[in-house]
A = this chain, B = another copy of it.
Amino acid sequence: MTNKTEISSLGEFKLIDHLTENFELKHESSKFGIGDDAAVLDFSNNKTVVTTDMLVEGIHFDLSYTPLIHLGYKSVAVNISDLYAMNATPQQITVSIAVSKRFSVEELDLFYEGIKLACDNYNVDLVGGDTTSSLTGFCISITAIGMAKEEEICYRNTAKPNELICVSGDLGAAYAGLQLLEREKRVFADNPKVQPDLEGYEYILERQLKPEARKDIFELFKSKNWIPSSMIDISDGLSSEVMHLCEKSGLGCQIFEDKIPVDYQTHKMAEELNMNSTIFALNGGEDYELLFTFPLDMHDELKECKGIKIIGHTCDISKGRQLVTRDNNEIELKAQGWKL
């Protein structure tokens, strides 16, 4: 980076003005955004849906291989994913950050450029936040607010027995991308002259560095007037989320290993590391895909939908929660504890 403007040269208020000057309010529900003690929103007769996520340097991201623009985008996307999982239309976000002095204004500009791209893509307004110093790492806290009619909202605890369990997209890719980045980081540490070897892995890298929330699936449901009987987003691995949904709904389930969608690059990466790509999908995390249930009679219609895969079905709790493997063994699903 050529320019390095010190954050302290602007001061807190001017920094906020500077970082947010390109953001415009798009929604009728955003009555008042940045510039007062609080934002004022108007959802008239809709319900307000609120979610929040914190991302911490060294825990959730590694700045040595994470471009700041992608980090900004991802920070928003992971929150929007939670709103889609409630079947709510994203409306606003607040963005709070704590940054150390080693950051320049230009670096924060990149981070906010990513935030802006996400705001535009997911059609949300930035309406508030907080910008503060940190003695050490970079910490990001985003709250996302959506709206939904009461009858549209999808909870985790409302699946019924003998329903179809579906997922969007494919699973395990973000984890595969992380493995690749961590491997290349180690190689680089051993020999800084070696260029990272990332060719042929663009998809899994993007899934790790710049994941998308499934706006298309949310919009598909809206266009078809479908409301899943339950829904959750897949952020901690398929296994953990299936368990959550079934526990909250008081159900058992069967998930079929051969139905779990896994991309070719994810398979290839797992193979290179002598690991099983099913384990990536079950326990990898950061997929930000949607897991949802529909009544059995939706089977044929769902089969036709691009980007949706039926991976199993719910059943009575007495039957347990099973993964049916490719060789037709049944093993009990575990929320955590799948060895990676």
Residues on A facing B (Cβ under 8 Å):
11, 13, 31-32, 35-45, 47-54, 56-60, 82-83, 85-86, 88, 92, 94, 96-98, 127-130, 132-137, 139, 141, 143-146, 148, 150, 153, 155-157, 231-233, 248, 335-336
Q: Which residues on the B side are within 8 Å of A54 (C-beta)?
A: 96-98, 130, 132, 139, 141
Query: Which residues of B sit under 8 angstroms from A145, Cβ to Cβ?
Result: 48, 50
Cβ-closest chain B residue relative to A51: B38
Q: Is the CB of A38 within 8 A of B132?
A: no
Q: Is the CB of A88 within 8 A of B50?
A: no
The answer to whether A11 and B50 touch (CB under 8 A), given A38-B86, A85-B37, is no
Known contacts A45-B44, A134-B59, A156 near B37 by CB under 8 Å: yes
Instruction: Check if A38 sits within 8 Å of B44, measured CB to CB.
Output: no
Q: How near does chain B come to A25, taking the closest CB pair, in angstroms?
A: 14
| Copies of this chain assembled into the complex | 2
Q: How far is the CA of A61 from the CA of B65 in the complex (A)?
A: 31
Q: Provided the pairs A52-B96, A137-B134 are in contact, do residues A47 and B42 lie with their beta carbons within 8 angstroms?
A: yes
Residues in B neighbouring A150, C-beta threshold 8 A = 42
Residues in B whose Cβ lies below 8 Å from that of A139: 54, 56, 98, 134, 139, 141
Residues in B with CB closer than 8 Å to A133 are: 56, 59
Alpha-carbon gap, A86 to B52, bound state (A): 22
Q: Would A31 and B52 count as touching, CB distance under 8 A?
A: no
List 18 interface pairs A-B (beta carbons < 8 Å), by A numbering.
A11-B336, A31-B47, A32-B155, A36-B248, A37-B85, A41-B47, A42-B150, A43-B48, A52-B130, A54-B98, A54-B139, A56-B132, A56-B134, A59-B132, A135-B136, A136-B136, A139-B141, A143-B143
